[in-house]
Amino acid sequence: MKLLVIRGNPRKDGHTQYITDLVVKGASEACATVDDVDLQTLTINECTGCYCCWTTTPGRCIHRDDMDALLNKLLAADIHLYSTPLYYYTMSISMKRFLERTLSLLKPFINQSPEGLFRNIPRYPDQWKNKKLAFISAGAFKDTENFKGLETTFRLLATGLSMEFCGGLIRPESYLLQFNLAKPKTVMIIETALMQSGRELVLEGVLTDETRQKVSTLLSVDTGHFLKYSNIYWEHVVAMGAEGTDLEKVRRRVTGDVRILMHEMARSIDPLTTAKLKAVLQFDFPDKNLYFCLTVRNGACTLEEKQSDSFDLRVTADSSTWAKAFTREISMKDGLIERKIRLEGDKMLFARLEKYFPPPVS
Contact 81, 3 (CB under 8 A): yes
Query: Among 23, 3, 13, which Cα is nearest to 137's?
Result: 23
Which tops the pLDDT comparison, 361 or 350?
350
Radius of gyration of the chain (CA): 26
Give the bridge partners for 331, in sequence order: none
Both 204 and 234 in one domain: the answer is no
12 in helix, strand or coil?
A: coil
pLDDT at 285: 96
CATH classification at residue 139: 3.40.50.360
Q: What is the pTM of this model?
A: 0.89
Same domain, 236 and 279: no
Say if residue 150 is in the same domain as residue 228. no
Q: Are residues 78 and 204 in the same domain?
A: yes
Which of 228, 255, 282 is the last residue in one of the domains?
255
CA distance linking residue 86 with residue 97, whole number of Å: 15
* pLDDT bracket for residue 362 (50, 70, 90): low
Mean pLDDT of 17-27: 97
- pLDDT digits over 301-349, tens only? 999 999 988 999 999 999 999 998 888 888 888 889 889 999 999 999 9
Query: In the prediction, which pLDDT does 181 show?
Result: 65
Q: What is the distance between the alpha carbons of residues 87 and 139, in angstroms, rounded to a whole number?
A: 8
Let me know if residue 226 belongs to a domain. Answer: yes
Once rounded to an integer, what is the mean pLDDT over residues 20-30?
Answer: 96
Helix, strand or coil, per DSSP, at residue 304:
strand
Task: Return the SS3 of 56.
Answer: coil
| Inside any domain, residue 334 | yes
Residue 180 confidence (pLDDT)? 74
pLDDT > 90 fraction of the chain, expressed in percent and rounded: 83
Mean pLDDT computed over every residue of the chain: 94
Q: What is the pLDDT of residue 146?
A: 95
Q: How confident is the model at residue 135 (pLDDT cuts 50, 70, 90)?
A: very high
**pLDDT in the model for residue 178:** 85
Both 248 and 303 in one domain: the answer is no
**Is pLDDT above 80 for 183?**
no
pLDDT band of residue 293 (cuts 50, 70, 90) is: very high
Q: Quick check: is 361 in a domain?
A: no
Same-domain pairing of 67 and 119: yes
Q: What is the pLDDT of residue 221?
A: 82
The pLDDT tens digits for 213-231 are 999 999 988 899 899 999 9
Give the strand pairing for 300-304 and 313-317: unpaired
Q: Are residues 248 and 299 in the same domain?
A: no
For the cut 80, the answer to whether the pLDDT of residue 41 exceeds it is yes
Average pLDDT over residues 103-119: 95
- The H or E element that residue 295 is part of is strand 290-297
Residue 175 within a domain? yes
Within-domain flag for 315: yes
Pair (207, 249) in one structural domain? no
Could you give the CA distance from residue 76 to residue 236 in angstroms, rounded to a whole number? Answer: 46
User: Rounded mean pLDDT of 30-57?
Assistant: 96
Burial class (CB in 10 A: 0-12, 13-18, 19+), 337: exposed
Structural domain contains residue 296: yes
341 shares a domain with 314: yes
Determine the Cα–Cα distance for residues 178 and 141; give it in Å rounded to an integer.
Answer: 15
Clarify whether residues 107 and 154 are in a common domain.
yes
Angstrom distance (rounded) from CA 30 to CA 194: 13
Number of compact structural domains in the chain: 3
- Let me know whether 312 and 250 are in one domain: no
User: In terms of domains, do 208 and 81 share one?
Assistant: yes
Query: pLDDT for 232-290, tens place per residue?
Result: 999 999 999 999 988 889 988 998 899 999 999 998 999 999 999 999 999 999 999 99
CATH number at residue 263: 3.30.1050.10
**Would you place residue 361 in the very low, low, confident or very high pLDDT band (cuts 50, 70, 90)?**
low
**Any domain includes 362:** no
- Domain residues for 329? 259-356
Gap between the Cα atoms of 176 and 30, Å rounded: 28
- Evaluate whether residue 18 is within a structural domain: yes
Residue 294 has pLDDT above 90, yes or no: yes
